[in-house]
């Protein structure tokens, strides 16, 4: 029977090509707008490290006091001072931990004929590689001893390794960064979490891959200042040493806490730490700390751009209007065939069969709308670059999942829209036709 | 036109009437808010930077293999080379510039003991060539003199004796007079800086929501920052921009090869800077514009579709009316009035919905309040749209011949 | 075959109750050809729609082929319409979007018949009404008489036990009407039970039995000499 109804549906759609085109186009536009904006939303709302997102935490400590916090809904600053970060590292209360900040490192090639070039770089602790599940192509992270020795070691990315060493195993070789020589301990395989959860404060959460990692202890020795944000609530005084000891915040901190008990214990530790700072006279206020896991942190940092949310909402509203439009047009289309329905009912079609016939016709419209929508979504995904920053736009892709979702959404939405008109069609009494004559 | 019989007829088409009204209401709500977003974004894009944008370009430079402290002479050599280039009007090294996206900001106090700052501002650090390079006009006071310019590590910048500020900042600090010659305290310092010049306009480096309250407040401090990272801003003679875009990096590499000028965003004309800064705003405006247009089209088409259906359904009725003496005009105005009634109900619902939607977005997305003008414009636009959409089917209805009354079915 | 006892049908509006049928009794036996006559508004068509299960009734009983139908649900009623009853409407009621073949196919589709059997039945019944060559034509391309013959073919295709016709010739000119009538008689001779509503005494005269309805009730023809007379007169005039 399905084939019969499908065939009838197509025939009926061919009968008023204009009305059909209108419905198909409306559904196509609505679905395409929703899917295009959804593709961006999906990319930005992605969980970049699902296997560990509930084990990795960002601690925050209020070192500026309630006056500054009041301007930010009572939240502590979103970055940390050198003082607090190194104290937390020293106390070593988590399974693994790291402090990190973006540095600007230029690679000076051995070949004097080549120009220096820059790569995205971070200074952090060796623990970070295991914490963030970073895959290694060659070698491994540097050791705790290296961290403690402020060693001249580096881990580089696969792309940089391809560029400098033509993909060969470069572990043990030297690399010249800003005129200093570092020994390579490992080469990271493809790793570009999106959003860039470990440093959303200094990136806009979407950036190119990081190609160079050096020990935090070494970077501080070399007085490499942050390539990211530095915020001071008062004048830090002059020079590096004053700055490092100041209340300026410029560091991100991550702790790995395998279970909730660990996290609770860490929360207590943070409050205890802040209380201790209060006792020692550094803080003149009660402890105000936070501990957020990856998902909460991304949420709090509003990683999903406002544009992505607003345009998704507007698109869904748009789809809703298209569906209301479709309800009206389907109603007109179905009711125009009242006589046909009356005759079919008289010839023995039950209500169920009328439902089947018209819902299948609607599904055919939905499918056509979905195909048009797919085409428009394809164009939309290409056009995403017009609305969003290139780093975000390139994340929006038309993959198999999106294709299926587009078609399913179109068909389901249209069939839902068709329920009322179909119900009306099924209410038509078989006798009605005889009477009107 | 009698409204009662129309209402009576609509009662028999409850579903269709409700659907059209609902569609009009939702369309109005979305179109109002979309237009509002478009207007806001376009307003932001239209904000002038105060720069001579057509002849400006920026180079992002990173010295390699030297410490911050050693980069002073290198920067001076770069500037000398750039200023000598043919086609170059002037050039500076500066920490940031309007629309760049990152820079320094701080509060300004009028007294050393004030707890709260009087205004928020951005800080630009550069030398006496700044005004000539930016192309911003001095409206009061004077420019820096060469002997007032200092050199400092970014972490060791002191409080300058003299500063130039933007007019907007001057107005904010001294609403009733001019800031010229007056002392101001930049940050939480005890040492005042004297305002020696006021420029017509100079925008902050940011263009997002957070800087909206101080987007025209700027202070130029007479320091060349000594850092391995710097931005060179170059103003070319008219028509020379593309030539200098090619010659400037070559000149820099000739001066000193140990540097990185990123291939991606290292060298940009100001037009490129503007384009990338406002990409999201313009894109959002375009997106909303497209959504509005398609939405209005679909709503109009929906009205045409449903009205055509009604006309088809009522052919006999129309024929009878005609037979009983209704003129073509009567039939036409019947359908126009009917649409106006439905449309009015729709826009009333829609106006409420538009305002409600905006209020909700205000709480969710740091958006501004919708002005009533938009709602009114939207209401008129949708009523007109409805009337235009219904015109074709209504004309067809008016042409139904009276003989239709005698036909069966 | 068809038996109604004390059947009533009331149309209710907010203000009035109208009896379309009142204490209505009729019994049609298997193989009969009954003509139902009566003035307009007498309840003829209401009787037919109830007989065809197109509409429910208010009171009384209706046995169709031995089954009491008042308690059947929509599905069961649809099933009976589809398998036991064939309809012939005054306005033909062909589906304009479907061609002749597809129109005849409609009831067979709802019966869930295999394609081969459907085709055989369709062609057979089209041959019977003499329109096999027009299978691919659309209703709009046929004359009124041809359209009614397609409608008859559609009614026959399902081999119904009971054929209900509502003014089958009402929209046709005399010559076409005669052809349709001859077809009905032929079908009756082959064993179908036919109930035909008409206000044309000449047609009524060609049926085996006449039932006259006035004000929603069956009137005994023998007690109405005027009508009896007109029927006799029509019989005398008819060529058969």
Based on the fold, state whether residues A35 and A155 are members of the same structural domain: no
Q: Which of A118, A243, A336 to mutate to test the interface with B (most CBs of B within 10 A)?
A: A118
pLDDT of residue B282: 87
A246 and A326 assigned to the same domain: no
CA distance B71 to chain A (A): 13
- Are A224 and A326 within one domain? no
Residue B68 is predicted with a pLDDT of 84
Q: Which of B26, B280, B309 sits opposite A389 (nearest CB)?
A: B280
Contact A332 B23 (CB under 8 A): no
Shortest Cα–Cα distance, A421 to chain C (Å) = 20
Encode pLDDT of C139-175 as tens digits: 888 888 888 889 889 888 888 889 999 888 887 888 8
Q: What is the mean pLDDT of residues A71-79?
A: 90
Q: A327 and A291, same structural domain?
A: no
Q: Are residues A295 and A315 in the same domain?
A: no
CB interface of A with C, residues 2-41, below 8 Å? 4, 11-12, 15
Quick one: pLDDT at residue C240?
40
Summarised one tens digit per residue, pLDDT across range B139-174 is 999 999 999 999 988 888 888 999 999 999 999 999
Search chain A and give the residue with CA nearest B26.
Answer: A321
pLDDT value, residue C229? 55
Q: How confident is the model at residue C233 (pLDDT cuts 50, 70, 90)?
A: low
Q: Is residue A65 part of a domain?
A: yes
Is the CB of B64 less than 8 angstroms away from the CB of A108? yes
CA distance A31 to chain C (A): 31
Instruction: Average the pLDDT over each of A257-261, A427-431, B369-373, C61-65 and give the range with the smallest value.
Output: A427-431
Q: How far is CA C128 from CA A314, C18, C143, C182, in A?
A: 62, 42, 17, 12
Q: For residue A400, what are the domain limits?
A: 2-45+305-436
B32 touches A at CB < 8 Å: no
Whether residues A36 and A112 share a domain: the answer is no
Residue C46: pLDDT band with limits 50, 70, 90? confident
Nearest to A305 by CA among A206, A380, A228, A399: A206
B37 contacts on A by Cβ (under 8 Å):
310
Question: Contact partners of A by the rule of 3+ C-beta pairs under 8 A?
Answer: B, C
What is the residue-wise DSSP string for B268-296? EEHHHHHHHHSHHHHHHHHHHHHHHHHHH
R_g of chain A computed on alpha carbons:
30
Share of chain C above pLDDT 90, in %: 19
Q: What is the pLDDT of residue C175?
A: 83
CB B321 within 8 A of CB B403: no
Longest Cα–Cα distance of chain C, Å, equals 54
Looking at residue B308, its pLDDT comes to: 86
Average the pLDDT over A351-370 and give the result.
Answer: 92
- Residue B409 clears pLDDT 50, i.e. is over it: no
- Find all residues with CB under 8 Å of B273, minimum gap 6, and list them: B58, B97, B99, B100
Residues of chain B contacting residue A25, judged by C-beta atoms under 8 Å apart? 298
Quick count: other Cβ atoms within 10 Å of Cβ A436?
Answer: 12
- The shortest C-alpha distance from A297 to chain C (Å) reads 58
pLDDT of res. A124: 96
Indicate the residue among A300, A317, A344 that finishes a domain: A300
Question: A61 and A22, same structural domain?
Answer: no
Residues A386, B286: C-beta atoms closer than 8 Å: yes
- Of B301, B281, B360, B374, the residue nearest B31 (C-alpha): B374
User: What 3 state SS string does B117-131 have?
Assistant: CCEEEEEEECCCCHH
Domain limit, last residue, from A285, A300, A315:
A300
The yes-or-no verdict on residue A434 having pLDDT over 60 is: no
User: Which one is predicted more confidently, A104 or A397?
Assistant: A104
pLDDT digits (tens, 9 = 90+) for B221-252: 999 999 999 999 999 999 999 999 999 999 99
Is A239 close to B156, i.e. CB distance below 8 A? Answer: yes
Averaged pLDDT score across all residues of chain A: 90
Q: Which residues of A touch B30 (CB under 8 A)?
A: 314, 317-318, 321
Does any CB of chain C come closer than 8 Å to the CB of residue A342? yes
Give the model confidence (pLDDT) of A293-335 as tens digits.
999 999 998 888 888 888 888 899 999 999 999 998 898 888 8
The total domain count for chain A is: 2
Instruction: Give yes or no for residue A427 having a pLDDT over 60.
Output: yes
- Cα C53 to Cα C72: distance, rounded to the nearest angstrom: 10
pLDDT tens readout for residues B105-120: 888 999 888 888 899 9
pLDDT at B370: 83
For the beta carbon of residue B194, count every other beta carbon within 10 angstroms.
Answer: 15
% of chain B surpassing 70 pLDDT = 98
Q: Say if residue A73 is in the same domain as residue A182.
A: yes
Last-in-domain residue among A271, A300, A329: A300
What's the rounded mean pLDDT across residues A366-384?
91
Is-cis flag, bond preceding C195, omega within 30?
Answer: no
Query: Does the pLDDT at position C232 exceed 70?
Result: no
pLDDT at A3 over 60: yes
Q: How far apart are CA B237 and CA A401, in angstroms?
A: 53
Cβ-defined contact of A340 to C95 (cutoff 8 Å): yes
Of A15, A430, A434, the CB nearest to C166: A434
The answer as to whether A411 is a domain residue is: yes
What confidence tier does A436 reach under pLDDT thresholds 50, 70, 90?
very low
- Give the residue-averaged pLDDT of B34-47: 90
A353–chain C nearest CA distance, Å: 8
Task: Calculate mean pLDDT across residues B99-106.
Answer: 89
Structure tokens at B76: 């001076």
Contacts of C139 (CB under 8 A, 6+ apart): C92, C94, C95, C96, C98, C100, C103, C147, C150
Q: Does C121 score more than 50 pLDDT?
A: yes
Confirm if C232 and C58 have CB atoms less than 8 A apart: no
Give the range among A214-223, B210-219, C126-135, C198-207 with minimum mean pLDDT.
C198-207
DSSP secondary structure code for residue A249 in this structure:
B
Q: What is the pLDDT of residue C234?
A: 56
- Please provide the average confidence, as pLDDT, over all residues in chain B: 89
- Helix, coil or strand: residue B71: helix
Q: What does the pLDDT read at residue B407?
A: 58
Mean pLDDT of A388-396: 78
Distance separating alpha carbons of residues B380 and B371, to the nearest angstrom: 15
Give B329-350 pLDDT, tens digit per residue: 888 888 899 999 999 999 999 9
A288/A327 same-domain check:
no
Query: Is 80 exceeded by the pLDDT of residue C221?
Result: no
Domain shared by A88 and A183, yes or no: yes
What was the pLDDT predicted at C170? 80
In DSSP terms, A96 is beta-bridged to: A256
Residues A387 and A296 in one domain: no
The residue extents of the domains of chain B are 3-45+280-406, 65-257
Say what the pLDDT of residue A435 is. Answer: 45
Q: Are the Cβ atoms of B64 and A179 closer than 8 angstroms?
A: yes
The DSSP H or E segment spanning A100 is: strand A96-107
Cβ–Cβ below 8 Å for B26 and A317: yes
For residue B408, pLDDT over 60 is answered with no
pLDDT score recorded for residue A308: 85
Q: Is the pLDDT of residue A389 over 80?
A: no
CB pair distance less than 8 Å for C81 and A347 = yes
Question: How much is the mean pLDDT over chain C?
Answer: 84
pLDDT above 80: residue B271 = yes
Asked if residues C6 and C24 have their Cβ atoms less than 8 Å apart, the reply is yes
> What is the SS3 assignment for B91?
strand
Asked if A347 and A373 sit in the same domain, the reply is yes
Contact residues on chain B for A33, CB-CB shorter than 8 A: 291, 294
> What are the chain C neighbours of A345 within 8 Å (beta carbons)?
54, 78
Contact B87, B236 (CB under 8 A): yes
- pLDDT classification of B406: cutoffs 50, 70, 90: low
Candidates B333, B405, B374; CA nearest to B28 is B374
B101 interaction partners in chain A (CB closer than 8 Å): none
Specify the DSSP class assigned to residue C19: E
- What confidence score (pLDDT) does residue C239 get? 47
pLDDT band at C231 (very low <50, low <70, confident <90, very high): low
Contact C136, C100 (CB under 8 A): yes
- Judge contact between B397 and B311, C-beta under 8 A: yes
Nearest CA in chain A to C45: A435
More confident residue, C233 or A79: A79
Whether the per-residue pLDDT at C16 is higher than 70: the answer is yes
For residue A427, tell me if it sits in a domain: yes
Whether residue A396 has pLDDT greater than 50: yes
Residue B103: pLDDT band (50, 70, 90) is: confident
pLDDT in tens, B183-201: 999 988 889 999 999 999 9
- The ipTM is 0.80
Position A136 pLDDT exceeds 80: yes
């Amino acid at each position: 029977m399905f084939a019969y109804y499908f065939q009838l549906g197509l025939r009926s759609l061919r009968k008023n090509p204009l009305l059909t085109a209108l419905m198909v186009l409306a559904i196509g536009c609505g679905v395409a707008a929703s899917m295009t904006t959804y593709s961006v939303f999906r990319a930005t709302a992605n969980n970049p490290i699902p296997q560990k997102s509930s084990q990795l935490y960002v601690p925050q400590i209020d070192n500026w006091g309630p006056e500054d916090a009041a301007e930010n809904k009572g939240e502590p600053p979103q970055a940390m001072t050198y003082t607090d970060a190194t104290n937390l590292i020293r106390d070593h209360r988590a399974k693994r931990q790291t402090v990190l900040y973006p540095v600007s490192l230029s690679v000076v090639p051995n070949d004097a004929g080549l120009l220096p070039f820059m790569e995205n770089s971070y200074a952090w602790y060796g623990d970070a590689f295991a914490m963030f599940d970073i895959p290694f192509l060659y070698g491994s992270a540097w050791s705790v001893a290296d961290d403690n020795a402020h060693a001249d070691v580096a881990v580089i990315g696969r792309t940089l390794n391809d560029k400098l060493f033509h993909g060969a195993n470069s572990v043990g070789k030297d690399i010249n960064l800003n005129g200093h020589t570092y020994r390579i301990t490992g080469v990271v395989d493809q790793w570009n979490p999106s959003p860039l959860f470990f440093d959303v404060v200094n990136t806009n959460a979407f950036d190119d891959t990081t190609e160079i990692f050096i020990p935090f202890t070494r970077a501080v020795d070399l007085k490499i200042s942050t390539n990211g944000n530095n915020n001071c609530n008062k004048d830090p005084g002059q020079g590096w040493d004053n700055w490092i000891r100041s209340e300026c915040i410029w560091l991100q901190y991550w702790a790995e806490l395998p279970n909730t008990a660990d996290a609770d214990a860490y929360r207590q530790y943070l409050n205890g730490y802040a209380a201790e700072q209060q006792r020692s006279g550094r803080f003149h206020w009660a402890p105000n700390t936070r501990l957020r896991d990856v998902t909460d942190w991304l949420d709090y940092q509003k990683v999903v751009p406002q544009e992505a949310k607003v345009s998704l909402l507007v698109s869904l509203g748009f789809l809703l209007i298209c569906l209301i439009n479709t309800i009206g047009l389907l109603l007109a289309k179905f009711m125009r065939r009242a006589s046909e329905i009356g005759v079919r009912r008289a010839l023995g079609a039950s209500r169920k069969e009328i439902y089947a016939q018209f819902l299948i016709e609607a599904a055919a419209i939905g499918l056509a709308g979905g195909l048009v929508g797919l085409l428009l979504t394809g164009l939309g995904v290409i056009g995403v670059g017009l609305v969003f920053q290139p780093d975000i736009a390139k994340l929006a892709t038309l993959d198999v999942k999106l294709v299926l979702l587009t078609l399913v959404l179109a068909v389901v939405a249209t069939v839902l829209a068709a329920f009322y008109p179909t119900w009306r069609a099924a209410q038509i009494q078989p006798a009605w036709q005889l009477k009107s004559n | 036109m009698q409204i009662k019989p129309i209402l009576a007829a609509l009662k028999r088409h409850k579903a269709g009437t409700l659907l059209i009204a609902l569609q009009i209401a939702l369309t109005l709500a979305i179109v109002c808010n979309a237009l509002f977003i478009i207007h806001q974004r376009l307003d932001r894009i239209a904000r002038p930077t105060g720069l001579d944008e057509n002849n400006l370009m920026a180079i992002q430079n990173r010295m390699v293999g030297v410490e911050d402290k050693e980069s002073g002479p290198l920067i001076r050599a770069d500037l000398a080379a750039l200023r000598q280039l043919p086609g170059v009007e002037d050039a500076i090294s500066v920490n940031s510039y309007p629309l760049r996206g990152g820079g320094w900001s701080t509060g300004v106090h009028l007294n050393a003991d004030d707890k709260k700052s009087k205004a928020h501002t951005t800080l630009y650090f550069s030398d006496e060539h700044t005004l000539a390079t930016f192309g911003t006009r001095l409206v009061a006071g004077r420019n820096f003199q060469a002997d007032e310019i200092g050199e400092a590590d970014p972490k060791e910048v002191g409080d300058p004796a003299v500063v130039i500020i933007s007019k907007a900042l001057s107005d904010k600090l001294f609403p009733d007079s001019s800031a010229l010659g007056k002392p101001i305290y930049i940050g939480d310092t005890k040492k005042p800086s004297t305002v020696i010049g006021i420029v017509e306009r100079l925008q902050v480096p940011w263009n997002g929501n957070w800087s909206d309250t101080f987007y025209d407040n700027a202070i130029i401090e007479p320091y060349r920052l000594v850092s391995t990272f710097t931005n060179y801003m170059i103003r070319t003679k008219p028509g020379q921009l593309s030539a200098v875009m090619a010659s400037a990096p070559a000149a820099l590499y000739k001066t000193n090869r140990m540097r990185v000028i990123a291939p991606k965003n290292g060298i940009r004309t100001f037009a490129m800077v503007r384009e990338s800064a406002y990409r999201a705003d313009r894109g959002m405006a375009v997106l909303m514009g497209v959504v509005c247009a398609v939405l209005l089209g679909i709503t109009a088409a929906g009205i045409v579709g449903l009205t055509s259906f009604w006309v088809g359904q009522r052919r006999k009725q129309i024929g009878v009316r005609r037979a009983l003496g209704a003129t073509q005009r009567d039939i036409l105005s019947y359908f126009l009035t009917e649409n106006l009634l439905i449309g009015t109900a729709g826009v009333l619902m829609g106006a409420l919905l538009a305002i409600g939607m905006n209020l909700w977005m205000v709480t969710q997305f740091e958006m501004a309040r919708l002005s009533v003008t938009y709602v009114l414009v939207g209401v008129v636009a949708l009523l007109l749209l409805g009337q235009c959409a219904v015109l074709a089917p209504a004309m067809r209805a008016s042409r139904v011949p009276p003989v239709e009354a005698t036909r069966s079915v | 075959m068809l038996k109604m006892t004390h059947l009533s049908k009331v149309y209710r509006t907010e203000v009035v109750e109208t009896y379309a049928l009142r204490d209505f009794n009729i019994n049609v036996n298997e193989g009969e050809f009954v003509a139902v006559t009566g003035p307009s508004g007498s309840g003829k068509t209401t009787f037919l729609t109830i007989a065809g299960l197109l509409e429910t009734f208010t009171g009384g009983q209706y046995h169709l082929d031995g089954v009491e139908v008042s308690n059947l649900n929509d599905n069961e009623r649809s099933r009976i319409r589809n398998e036991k009853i064939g309809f012939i409407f005054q306005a033909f009621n062909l589906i304009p979007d479907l061609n002749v073949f597809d129109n005849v196919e409609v009831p067979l589709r709802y019966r869930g018949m295999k394609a081969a059997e459907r085709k055989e039945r369709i062609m057979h019944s089209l041959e019977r009404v003499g329109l096999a060559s027009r299978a691919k034509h659309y209703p709009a391309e046929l004359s009124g008489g041809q359209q009614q013959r397609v409608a008859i073919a559609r009614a026959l295709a399902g081999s119904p036990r009971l054929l209900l016709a509502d003014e089958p010739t009402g929209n046709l000119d005399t010559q076409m009407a005669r052809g349709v009538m001859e077809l009905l008689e032929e079908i009756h001779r082959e064993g179908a039970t036919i109930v035909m509503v008409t206000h044309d005494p000449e047609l009524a005269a060609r049926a085996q039995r006449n039932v006259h309805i006035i004000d929603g009730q069956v009137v005994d023809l023998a007690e109405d000499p005027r009508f009896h007379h007109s029927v006799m007169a029509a019989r005398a005039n008819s060529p058969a």
